[in-house]
Amino acid sequence: MSDVSAQPTPEIQPADACSLAKFTTLCLGGAAARIETATSSGEIVQKVREAQARDEPVLILAGGSNVVIGDEGFPGTVVLVRSRGLRVVAEDPETVTVRVEAGEPWDELVAATLANGWSGLECLSGIPGSTGATPIQNVGAYGQEVAETITGVQVYDRHTGELGRIAAADCGFAYRSSIFKYSDRWAVLSVDFRLTRSPLSGPVRYAELARSLGVEVGQRVPLADARATVLRLRAGKGMVLDPSDPDTRSVGSFFTNPVLDQAAYQLFRARAAEFGEPPAWPGTGDVVKISAAWLIDKAGFAKGHPGPAGVAISTKHTLALTNRSGTARTADLVTLARRIRDGVHERFGVTLHPEPVLINCTV
């Protein structure tokens, strides 16, 4: 007869063992029912399938730099994507196509492409998060978007249970959006980028970057110069992760720049007339993109504007909402975001929309 008393007692994890706050750059979010780590594409698929077999909801989480998780956490399995690696899958004298695993840290990838003399990602330096998240958000900054270099995305289709590849033309890329952003159908496994063999950047399109580089818009600069300047500009806005800087405890830009049709734009201009001509840029088709940061500031929410429990607008960038105290709750951040959204709408008649993915919370 076995001695039941001699059997090991199952370990009871503390309540915060599955806290998701430690996996997000905001340091916010409640607990998950279960957390699994996947270190390869195969493991991502396996973990998702196992959770589906248990009839549990699944959240795929990598760098956590563009997600806001509610205080109630996630009532299912969270799969932490930690797959690494990149390899050349096609090349010719002018270009090279690299396949990058979803968990590869984005800025490490950018640094590697520049070290190899590959142009196309240099203006996206310093962006936190993982490579697999970039097509979801169509990540962009300083005049570049990943949609310009992505040729395809390898995915697991959670609806059909099949592996596949979605060509760039079918990814629905738009300003800070794609078919992946508001759907849990696809798990991104890896991403293909076609880059140019060149020691020079692409044409510099962003006026602030051109000024900082001392060149005209449209000129090219050495890759290392483009990267160093972008990193400096981002750091000055609290957009490069730094544990010693509470302004970087954020998801970067919290709101997207509104895109207005001509009728809405003219109404906005009339309401904004007292401030002079507002910054605006022509978009695709007969639309105009306006500055969310300008709207927030002119509506009375300046840099450093406080919210409850130590959340605040960044002291360096009006678009970033920060968990400065490190002890706030998601509800506090959401309260501040709603105040800003409602204040901007009341003043200018324009509605701001969140840029990060919201899990178990709404703004």
Q: Which whole-number Å values give the CA distances from 315 to 241, 296, 304, 312, 337, in the listed order?
A: 15, 13, 4, 8, 16
Band of residue 45 on the pLDDT scale cut at 50, 70, 90: very high
- pLDDT over 90 percentage in the chain: 92
Asked if 176 is an active-site residue, the reply is yes
The per-residue DSSP string of 238-259 comes to T-S--TT-GGGSS-SB-BPPPE
Asked if 253 is an active-site residue, the reply is yes
pLDDT at 27 over 60: yes
pLDDT mean over 225-254? 95
pLDDT mean over 11-16? 40
pLDDT mean over 174-189? 94
Residues whose CB falls within 8 Å of the CB of residue 256, separated by 6 or more in sequence, listed in order: 175, 176, 292, 352, 353, 354, 355
Among the listed residues 122, 253, 314, 341, the single catalytic one is: 253
Among residues 319, 322, 277, the alpha carbon closest in space to that of 25 is found at: 322
pLDDT at 7 over 60: no
| Phi/psi-derived region of residue 172, left when phi > 0, alpha when psi is between -120 and 50, beta in every other case | left
Band of residue 182 on the pLDDT scale cut at 50, 70, 90: confident
Asked if 355 is an active-site residue, the reply is yes
pLDDT at 12 over 80: no
- What would the pLDDT profile of 119-140 be if each residue is shown by its tens digit? 999 999 999 999 999 999 999 9
The per-residue DSSP string of 73-124 comes to -EEEEEEEE----EEEEEE-SSEEEEEEETTSBHHHHHHHHHHTTEESSGGG
- What would the pLDDT profile of 198-235 be if each residue is shown by its tens digit? 999 999 999 999 999 999 999 999 999 999 999 999 99
Q: Are 319 and 297 in contact (CB under 8 A)?
A: no
Band of residue 285 on the pLDDT scale cut at 50, 70, 90: confident
pLDDT mean over 81-86? 98
pLDDT at 4 over 70: no
pLDDT at 13 over 90: no
Among the listed residues 34, 99, 176, 329, the single catalytic one is: 176
pLDDT mean over 92-107? 98
pLDDT at 302: 97
Structure tokens, 53: 């077999």
pLDDT at 256: 96
3 state DSSP class of 17:
coil
Mean pLDDT of the chain: 94
The whole-model pTM stands at: 0.90
